């Protein structure tokens, strides 16, 4: 067994174990951490396949960005896991049947000759850089899809802002511009109150006092 | 490296103008914003429509064969821009009264057009998929923009989740096709399928997923679950947008993938399409009878119309494609008129979306009732409206391709379908009005609706011009 094969089996074993742990551990944060481990080992397998760019992207994008966001969400949401697990045993027979059928089907498909999966691609020469060739086709041959992908992102930005940025009536936010532009006359309002000394001096004194307070 | 960017001039112009609208929206005073947005959107659509190339020259390629400008693309781009323009003119008042006429709405609408234009011009699976995503993402957001309505949020959620699933299916299928043929370029795929060089089992497996994804996007049974809920839940202008231009783009999408790329597997996909067409015609027409909400009824009507569209495509001949193209363009025009009528009869705080709201329309306004009569006749396919000729040409194409039983079935189903369209006519002319408020509406929208409806009649009397245009466009493309 070559060193590469040993590495493959090592990564493969850790990947499968981590994948199983993701769906079996009870704590959602632990599950997310196991998913991170699964991504790392998958990246290792991709490295063995000479796909170093994909491996790096997987770690940067998924581990670095997606999983962090995911952890935030898991921590912020108050999910009632007991309720989610309700009826697990009741649905198990149906779910297990579906799962077994799918496993058998996939096994039949993946092992059959007609899919042509038995042949493997030849390993590239040692001096071929994955990153360089990807970069080259991305900006030349795939220029149009690259630009279109940027439009997709622009739409996502516009849509996300349009859907979340709303002025709610009940929020008491401060309008800085108006605060700066305030004039002295806006703050102090002088109300002329007619004196009613002539009629009932005692009553008018209290009402005037109340008037100045309000 | 031959980019030939000039061929993508309409798309580039559209993108730049959308950027301009974004800036104007940002720096406009609130009281001037709506007028400016409207003006700019109309100008943008006119410019884009005018920038499209002559359809009758042979296909030209850009961006290394990723992008194609041919007859079908040119004609459909103009049709889609026209759909958006008419739709915008109909819906401005309605949107403004509900506080939805914002910069984002207009921008997302135009982005959806950009995505659809890329879809009809794509010559590579990657470009096709990205065009589809641009369109879909914009439309999901448009449905969701009406945040205060629980129904709209529900519709947006359903649409988004099912749409993402369908995109996943489509992408999975495309990856199989790539695995089998070794290329994403439609011409290359067609070549290797034609010489049966590829791995046929893998190809057939991929085809199943591709057809499922396409069927979802078109909204045909059994992938139609989202259609009634989204049509009902979305604001009417969004529903109108959803039922017109995206159907045209979806037609081009299907013809490019199945008719062009996977033409060598026509035997396989024809059977799948037969299944889709039969189910759509049956379920669309029969379930529509039970609806009391006009928008839901029109949603089921769309499903059955898409069944007819599929009928033309599955003929697999140029004649079939061109009659399907005629069908989808005229269907979009009819759908515009029907939703335009709902918009015209709605007013602040009231949506004329239930069948009841159309009771006794003849007594309230004979003119509007007459227009609605023509629209319903056209949807039902009663001569002399254009709906009749569209159905006729599709059925002829299917008959030529030898699908006799399917044609008989489609005719039977459209007879059943005529019932619920004629029910609307009966409600308008024979029942007493429930709602007695005067019919208002914008003068521009009102006269445009009249023109639109009479176009249905005119195209029904003289269909040969548009039919010939579709025929020549398809002939120039394939």
The DSSP annotation for B308-355 comes to HHHHHHHT-SHHHHHHHHHHHHHHHHHHHHHHHHHHHH-BTTB---BG
Q: What's residue A6's pLDDT?
A: 92
Predicted local distance difference test score (pLDDT) of residue B408:
94
The first and second tokens of residue B325, run together, are 């193209």
DSSP code at position B145: T
Least CB-CB distance to B134: which of A141, A148, A163? A148
Q: What's the start-to-end Cα distance of chain B, in Å? A: 25
Contacts of B106 in chain A (CB under 8 A): none
Quick check: B144 and A163 CB within 8 A?
yes
What is the predicted pLDDT for the residue at B455?
Answer: 93
pLDDT band at residue A50 under the 50/70/90 scheme: confident
Predicted confidence band of residue A123 (pLDDT cuts 50, 70, 90): low
What pLDDT, on the 0 to 100 scale, is given for residue A122?
64
Chain A residues whose CB is inside 8 A of the B111 CB are 151, 154-155, 158
Residue numbers in A near B172 (CB within 8 A)? none
Q: Which residues of B touch A (CB under 8 A)?
A: 1, 3, 8, 15, 22, 62-64, 66-67, 102, 104, 107-108, 111, 114-115, 118, 124, 126-127, 130-131, 133-134, 137-138, 140-141, 144-145, 147, 199-202, 205
Mean pLDDT of A87-101: 88
* CA-to-CA separations, B202 to A115, B172, B211, B216, B260, in angstroms, rounded: 6, 12, 14, 22, 19
Dist CA A205 CA A174 (whole Å) = 38
Mutate to test the interface with A, among B107, B139, B209 (most CBs of A within 10 A): B107
Chain B environment of A149 (Cβ under 8 Å)? 130
Q: Tell me: pLDDT of A170 over 80.
A: no
pLDDT one-digit tens code per residue, A57-69: 999 998 888 888 8
Domain spans of chain A, in order of start = 1-79, 84-123, 127-164
pLDDT beneath 70: ranges in chain B: 1-2, 196-199
A108 has a chain B CB within 8 A of its CB: no
Q: First and final CA of chain A: distance in angstroms?
A: 91
How far apart are the C-alpha atoms of B43 and B34, rounded to whole Å?
A: 14
Please give the helix or strand (H or E) that residue B62 lies within, else none. strand B60-62
The token pair at B260 is 């062009």
Looking at residue A168, its pLDDT comes to: 67
Q: Is the pLDDT of residue A198 over 70?
A: no
* ipTM of the modeled complex: 0.91
Interchain proximity B145–A162, CB inside 8 Å: yes
DSSP, res B462:
S
Q: How far apart are CA B443 and CA B454, in angstroms?
A: 17
Is the model more confident about A207 or about B246? B246
Q: How far is B330 from chain A (nearest CA, A)?
A: 30
Q: What's the pLDDT score for residue A212?
A: 47
Find the helix packing angle between B186-194 and B150-181, rounded to 10°: 50
Q: If DSSP codes are grouped into helix, strand and coil, which group holds residue A53? A: helix
Q: What is the mean pLDDT of chain A?
A: 81
What is residue B196's predicted lDDT score, i.e. its pLDDT?
Answer: 64
Surface of A (191-210) touching B: CB under 8 A: none
CB contact under 8 A, B133 and A152: yes
Cβ within 8 Å, pair B8-A115? no
Task: Name the residue among B165, B386, B416, B423 with its Cα closest to residue B307.
Answer: B416
Instruction: Locate A67 and state its tokens.
Output: 């999983």
Please determine, for residue A165, whether its predicted confidence score (pLDDT) is greater than 50. Answer: yes
Lowest mean pLDDT, pick from A4-8, A180-184, B331-335: A180-184
Residue A77 CB neighbours (<10 A): 8
Report d(CA B238, CA B455) in Å as an integer: 23
Residues facing residue B122 across a β-bridge: B67
**CA-CA distance, B132 to B134, in Å (whole number)?**
6
| Measured distance CA(B392)–CA(B282) in Å, rounded | 18
Best to test chain B binding among A111, A150, A151, A154 (most B CBs inside 10 Å): A151
Residues of A with Cβ-Cβ distance to B140 under 8 angstroms: 159
Tell me, what's the pLDDT at B200? 75
How big is chain A, counted in residues?
A: 214
* CB-CB neighbors (< 8 A) of B104 in chain A: 158-159, 161-162
Distances (CA, A) of B438 to A148, B339, B424, B471: 47, 19, 20, 45
The single-letter DSSP state of residue B185 is B
Distance from C-alpha of B313 to C-alpha of B258, rounded to nearest angstrom:
9
Res. A201 pLDDT band, cuts 50 70 90: low
Contact between B269 and B262 under an 8 Å Cβ cutoff? The reply is yes
Calpha distance B98→B148 (Å, rounded): 10
Tokens describing residue A5:
């094969």
Residues in chain B: 478
pLDDT of residue B363: 87
Residue B76's pLDDT is: 93
Q: Which two tokens stand for residue B145?
A: 């923009």
DSSP letter at A55 equals: H
Nearest to B202 among A115, A148, A156 (CB): A115
Q: What is the pLDDT of residue A213?
A: 46
Q: Which residues contact B247 (CB under 8 A, 6 or more apart)?
A: B218, B302, B306, B309, B328, B331, B332, B335
| Alpha-carbon distance B102 to nearest alpha carbon in chain A (angstroms) | 9
DSSP-assigned beta bridge partners for residue B347: B350
- Count CB-CB contacts under 10 A for residue B345: 24
Alpha-carbon distance B293 to B356, whole Å?
8
Contact B93/B442 with Cβ under 8 angstroms? Answer: yes
Domain boundaries, chain B: 2-477
Report residue B402 as tokens: 């030898």
DSSP code, position B98: T
Nearest CA in chain A to B126: A145
B376 vs B453: CA distance, rounded Å: 10
The C-alpha atoms of residue B9 and residue B20 are separated, in whole angstroms, by 16
CB contact under 8 A, B147 and A163: yes
Sign of CA dihedral B238, B243, B248, B254: positive
- What is the CATH code of the structural domain delimited by A1-79? 1.20.120.1200
User: How high is the pLDDT of residue A200?
Assistant: 56
* Rounded Cα distance, B254 and A137, in Å: 27
pLDDT, position B43: 93
Alpha-carbon distances, residue B422 vs A38, A112, B373, B416, B426 (angstroms): 60, 55, 8, 10, 6
pLDDT at res. A119: 58
Residue partners of B86: CB distance under 8 A and separation at least 6:
B336, B340, B448, B452
Contact B114 A156 (CB under 8 A): no
Distances (CA, A) of A97 to A2, A110, B245, B415: 39, 20, 43, 44
Instruction: Give the pLDDT of residue B388.
Output: 93
Q: Do B302 and B283 form a contact (C-beta atoms < 8 A)?
A: no
Is residue A204 predicted with pLDDT exceeding 60?
no
Asked whether the beta carbons of residue B138 and residue A159 sit closer than 8 angstroms, the reply is yes
Q: Are strands B67-69 and B60-62 parallel, antiparallel or unpaired?
A: antiparallel
The phi and psi torsions of A78 (rounded to 5 degrees) equal: -100, 90
Q: What pLDDT is stored for residue A214 in this prediction?
A: 43
CA A38 to chain centre: 18
Scanning every residue of chain A, which has its alpha carbon at the shortest distance from the alpha carbon of B144? A163
Please tell me which residue of chain A has the smallest CA distance to B153: A163
Which letter does DSSP use for residue A193 in this model? -
């Amino acid at each position: 067994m070559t060193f590469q094969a040993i590495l493959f089996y090592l990564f493969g074993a850790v990947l499968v174990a981590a994948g199983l742990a993701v769906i079996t551990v009870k704590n959602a944060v632990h599950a997310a951490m196991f998913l991170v481990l699964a991504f790392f080992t998958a990246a290792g397998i991709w490295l063995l396949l000479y796909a170093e760019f994909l491996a790096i992207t997987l770690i940067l994008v998924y581990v670095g960005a997606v999983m962090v966001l995911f952890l935030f969400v898991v921590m912020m949401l108050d999910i009632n896991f007991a309720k989610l697990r309700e009826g697990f045993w009741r649905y198990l027979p149906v779910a297990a049947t579906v799962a077994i059928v799918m496993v058998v089907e996939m096994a039949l498909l993946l092992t059959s000759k007609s899919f042509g999966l038995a042949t493997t691609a030849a390993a590239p020469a040692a001096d071929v850089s994955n990153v360089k060739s990807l970069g080259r086709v991305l900006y030349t041959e795939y220029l149009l899809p690259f630009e279109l992908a940027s439009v997709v992102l622009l739409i996502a930005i516009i849509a996300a802002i349009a859907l979340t940025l709303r002025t709610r009536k009940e929020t008491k936010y401060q309008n800085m511009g108006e605060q700066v532009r305030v004039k002295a006359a806006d703050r102090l309002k002088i109300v002329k109150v007619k004196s009613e000394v002539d009629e009932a001096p005692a009553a008018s004194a209290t009402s005037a006092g109340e008037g100045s307070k309000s | 490296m031959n980019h030939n960017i000039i061929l993508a001039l309409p798309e580039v112009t559209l993108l730049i103008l959308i950027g301009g609208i974004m800036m104007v929206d940002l720096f406009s005073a609130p009281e001037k914003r709506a007028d400016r947005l409207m003006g700019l959107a109309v100008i943008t659509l006119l410019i884009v429509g005018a920038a499209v190339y002559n359809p009758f020259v042979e296909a030209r390629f850009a961006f290394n064969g990723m992008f194609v400008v041919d007859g079908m693309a040119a004609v459909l781009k103009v049709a889609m821009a026209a759909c958006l323009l008419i739709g915008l003119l109909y819906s401005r008042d309605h949107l403004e009264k509900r506080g939805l006429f914002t910069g984002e709405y207009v921008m997302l609408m135009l982005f959806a057009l950009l995505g659809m234009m890329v879809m009809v011009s794509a010559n590579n699976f990657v470009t096709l998929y990205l065009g589809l995503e641009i369109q879909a993402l914009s439309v999901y957001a448009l449905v969701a923009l009406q945040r205060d309505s629980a129904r709209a949020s529900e519709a947006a959620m359903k649409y988004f989740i099912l749409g993402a699933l369908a995109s996943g299916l489509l992408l999975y299928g495309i990856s199989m096709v790539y695995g089998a043929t070794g290329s994403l370029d439609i011409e290359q795929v067609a070549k290797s399928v034609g010489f049966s060089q590829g791995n046929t089992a893998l190809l057939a497996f991929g085809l199943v997923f591709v057809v499922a994804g396409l069927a979802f996007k078109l909204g045909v049974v059994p992938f139609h679950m989202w259609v009634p809920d989204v049509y009902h839940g979305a604001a009417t202008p969004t529903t109108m947008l959803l039922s017109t231009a995206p159907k045209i783009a979806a037609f081009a999408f299907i013809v490019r993938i199945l008719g062009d790329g996977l033409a060598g597997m026509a035997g396989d996909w024809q059977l799948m399409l037969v299944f889709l067409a039969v189910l759509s015609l049956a379920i669309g027409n029969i379930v529509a009878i039970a609806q009391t909400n006009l928008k839901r009824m029109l949603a089921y009507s769309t499903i059955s119309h898409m069944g007819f569209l599929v009928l033309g495509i599955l003929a697999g001949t140029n004649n079939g494609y061109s009659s399907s193209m005629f069908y989808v363009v005229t269907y979009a025009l009819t759908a515009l008129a029907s939703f335009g009528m709902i918009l015209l009869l709605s007013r602040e705080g009231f949506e004329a979306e239930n069948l009841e709201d159309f009771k006794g329309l003849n007594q309230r306004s004979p003119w509007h009732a007459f227009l609605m009569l023509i629209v319903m006749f056209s949807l039902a396919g009663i001569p002399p409206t254009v709906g009749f000729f569209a159905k006729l040409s599709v059925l002829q194409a299917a008959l030529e391709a030898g699908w006799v039983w399917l044609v008989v079935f489609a005719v039977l189903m459209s007879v059943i379908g005529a019932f619920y369209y004629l029910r609307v006519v009966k409600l308008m002319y024979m029942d007493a009005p429930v709602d007695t408020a005067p019919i208002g509406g914008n003068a521009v929208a009102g006269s445009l609706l009249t023109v639109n409806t009479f176009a249905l009649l005119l195209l029904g009397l003289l269909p040969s011009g548009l039919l010939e245009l579709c025929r020549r466009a398809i002939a120039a493309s394939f």
